[in-house]
Structure 1
């Protein structure tokens, strides 16, 4: 039976990530000024290209909010239900979603981040399932596919797989940009669920044993640091503890660059990291997966882009996480934006989880 899918794109979603803005809500102009390149359309094309020829009736928005993506994906039969002014905003996302709901779609698919998810949920609530193609900076909500390829699979199977109640999170981007994670549960949306295809919600681990484990990890990483080597330290409380062990002030929700015990860049963007790698080609990247979701790359650390990873060398990626986080994170994911690079990661990663202790964790490959 043919299904009807409402589809929209937030054209500016995720632009703030690579340039160190930690989000794009209200910051699109600043992101462009810093040299950001829109990429949400590309992420959406990756997903929808795999659905060319499927028995789906598409409803969408005009121009960059949907129609352009469908055309680029080779889908030429669709109905435009909403025509936004350009540039688009949250009001357009809500209006388009209401138009999809009124048209009786079976599923609303959007490409964006947490802010887009919240706007879609505001409009449709629990009256129709929703699914996000991940293109934002953080994506703490549990309404997203793990990557564009997984989104295509979920859209294809929607109606034949169960839906689950999934968290929509309201993240304060102003607080996030200042280094504080302030998030609250906004509601529960209905989302098509397939294990290893639909992402989980972020969890925060703060037990006493976790704090000791962070200290142990930090002591070990500080001990094995190689002189005259650039260390790119990703976001998170575990990586922040490494900076503190070195006597340095961390950017909790950003990316720092350190060499020989000196901070060369704090809250660095992609362009800064690439310039540092030109000067200091011997480098290591230290990253920690998002708790419960399991994303090592592609969530909250887009500054560590495919170009940065390739220049540093994938073999120089060091992953750290506490035992408690790993216990609640059975699988790891990578969604760097470069499917070929994601495949090169392989089917497992070694994760430093204590002082001279490591666990090997499975990496789910969906591309």
Structure 2
């Protein structure tokens, strides 16, 4: 859809929401299932462009005709994109399992739930989601989302196994997503050659706009593993320039902190880490906080380092980085 076409649809959707809010019609009589599905599609497009309030309003207008679980999951995703992770989790705390739980519609909902769980640091819950829905399909995108949960738990080989399953799919988006996740895992373990080979399989154009930043962040991790922090910095800045999700902007700050520390620019590194810690997005992120604490410790600021390591255990308690922080705290 071109830009003008979207704006026309956007304006029409707003007018529709206004009519409903004004009570001009009874919602159940006005909107059909097909119209509700269209509105939810526009809501996803609005979310991808960073129009979070619009996205939630459009979803609210489509509720009543679509399964409640679907609407709740989409609302949670909009909140997560905005950085309101706690609210996103509350939106899916009591999410119902609707009929035909093995269908594609249910698979889509489970993927959203896993995304929100991982963003919030609920990795174990993310890995348990598919069981409650009796999913018959082994979707590649779900494998990638579960791989991220496994990696945050420190289950590296299991995470890479999920990634390999997703790489075998015919879906270009899934292949690139899997390649980028595997790149991050391998680069984090300083397996630079393997990470580079996997990164070369990724194609930025396969990604939707709201995930383009991840391509550049994965490249930054490869560059760091290869010992080229200057190139890593350039990659992060490219990713930050196209970032649309609050989580991506926070992650850029933590990455810049790592890079500055690697270059020996410690005061800049500490400033970046602190800015990341204060960012509105507070989910996940234990690895960035741990790097902050470790940088402080390397500079002899033991008391402050201990405070930051405790922050890791508070904000990302299920993660492998929380276990490392506890070890450092003794």
Say yes or no: TM over 0.5: no
Normalising by structure 2, we get a TM-score of 0.30
- Taking CA–CA contacts closer than 8 Å with sequence separation of 6 or more, which of the two structures ends up with the larger relative contact order? 1
Q: TM-score, normalization: structure 1?
A: 0.28
> Which structure shows the bigger proportion of residues in helix conformation?
2
Normalized per residue, the structure richer in strand is 1
